[in-house]
Structure 1
Amino acid sequence: MSTNPLAALSDAGVSIWLDDLSRERLNTGNLAELIAGKHVTGVTTNPTIFAAALAKGAAYDEQVRELVARGADTDTAVREITTSDVRHACDLFRDIYTATDGVDGRVSIEVDPRLAHDTEGTVAEALDLAKAVDRPNLLVKIPATLEGLPAITKVLAEGISVNVTLIFSVERYRHVMEAFIAGLEQAKANGHDVRSIHSVASFFVSRVDAEVDKRLDALDSPAATELRGKAAIANAVLAYAAYEETFKGERWEALAAEGAHAQRPLWASTGVKDPNYSDTRYVDQLVVAGTVNTMPEKTLHAVADHGKIEGDTVTGRAAQAQEVFDGLAEVGIDLDDVFITLETEGVQKFEKSGAELLETVTGQLNQAKG
């Protein structure tokens, strides 16, 4: 095992992706440096990331002025600004994409947050984004809401690779994997080469501990305190067990025989929210081959500096994870309600971040108009 934690993580079979993108990163060569020196093999984005990028510096000024000159409205401007950055990033990762046969070198772009509960709108938006970016290493992000599930299937059926986001519970994750397999089956029936279709399932981690710990603290008992900080890792371990269980058997083997790639688990929300916890815990404790960990730059550098990568920390630990869940139930934590709360809040944050991006771009356009 390498003494370089990021190299060790990569050697363990975990793809390291950066949860951030900006025109400044692209123009200054920062992203290229992270690819070369920090083992970064992909990028995830969201509207909050783009709003933050637009709010600082002058990297977008020229494009904003050009959009104003053309009379572009806010929605058009958002689409052109974000797809320009994603297209540029896709080109930067193209060599990795080729070298890994399409597994890595991926860049994600999210569908309009206003469509989180609109199946057909999500499908149309995903198809439009894929056409606008026009790069084979694009992943279109679709939320795992109940309305998002059939959209996932329909988009995959069109031969488009998908990053499924906002997954909190193992139950919903099983539905996501079913939507993925159904999508590949339909893609095959539609004449698409399933070998070219890839997907990741973004399972949110730190937010689970944040919500469960808050409820445990309210109970104010030794048994509850003992369970602090254990829910998120246990949830991810159980998710991985569900992944192992799903991608076997006749139905999957029929697709695998055609060269289909399993939908990889992606650990998202891996920046630590409680300062009492190690800032690398959602990386160190989620090491298993064939997964992705997308992390903010702060976490990436923390892992590089003092991460403790000690081999597979996930496989075969489902029984221990279930014991944690059983213990949470015994002290009175309603996990079903936890996951409903997290999804509801996740969609609200999703929509809020989209509104912030629209507001930021509107301000940029107005400023350029003088």
Structure 2
Amino acid sequence: MGLYTSSSPLLYWGLAGPYEAEEEDGRRRRTRPAGTPTSPNTRVSVDIAKTRHSIPGVGLISPPPHHDIYSIEDLAELIYDLKCSNPSARISVKLVSEVGVGVVASGVAKGKAEHITISGHDGGTGASSWTGIKGAGLPWELGIAETHQTLVQNDLRSRIVLQADGQIRTGFDVIVAAILGADEFGFSTAPLIVMGCTMMRKCHLNTCPVGIATQDPELRKKFEGKPEHVVNFLFLLAEEVRSYLAKLGLHSLQEAVGRTDLLRAAPFEGNPKAKLLNLDAIFLNALSLRPGTNIRGGSIAQDFELGKRMDNLLIKQSKAVLEGRSKEVTLHMDITNEDRAFATTLSYHIAK
């Protein structure tokens, strides 16, 4: 389980106020080798060192686990703090597709995350080790199906926007992910290839030969990608998705979510063992577990009770300073241990 944060030694591995105030989605991504999360000293330029609050030329280590998250309660507190630091951000938690991920996702939903990404074993950044790419996680199909079913069974599906991630490249992949329960679909490798990525798997070494994953000014000159390339790819992908929806008799992608009756196992004669596979668990209709429940992801907003926060009074009384009409303000308030993340939202408005 991982909540994306950046790696500078600030709040929660790097959530500086101005940095957080600019975020629309409460996730952070970083490229690093799986199992050995380091940035070589040759990569740590002046700009990177400044961003990471470190020293140029000194190798950096990012902890594989997040040491402030050892339980669902810890995660719930972090989600609350992040929401308070930017009320307009959507807080997302990324989980690895594995057996039991549905139970974890239910806990994450109860912790009031608004978005969950299920990441399959096929994906992996160019910084990942070969053992990490080949040996970590399970197919996203298994994780998405289990998570969707478990959330529906616990009447939590409507609170969570569910995203599938991990080598999703074609319209067929999108349709299958939607049918298994996904609301959204993450693309990384395919758009990078469209922009010119040659899959050299050197993203973390600052030696990308096509100028994508590098801060070297000479290598960056080789970058020939354009936004239009990605836009064109996504338009063609959307057209493929539309054609599949038409063949299935559906009017929108939302109508495909959870419609496992539209899937069947393709016969495979090449391997006798393949005939022994039982895919009933994937094809199970989640609504059979809890008939009539709302399965439209994100249709019910998580209630963070932000309207009850003392920060609202702080912001109101500090309005003159925030708007530049006054230089200072002095406030006197009684704070109790129920006033969690005090002044965090005020800091957000200051940093905006």
TM-score, structure 2 length as denominator? 0.37
Q: As a proportion of its length, which structure holds more helix? A: 1
Larger radius of gyration: 2
Larger RCO of the pair (alpha carbons < 8 Å, separation 6+): 1
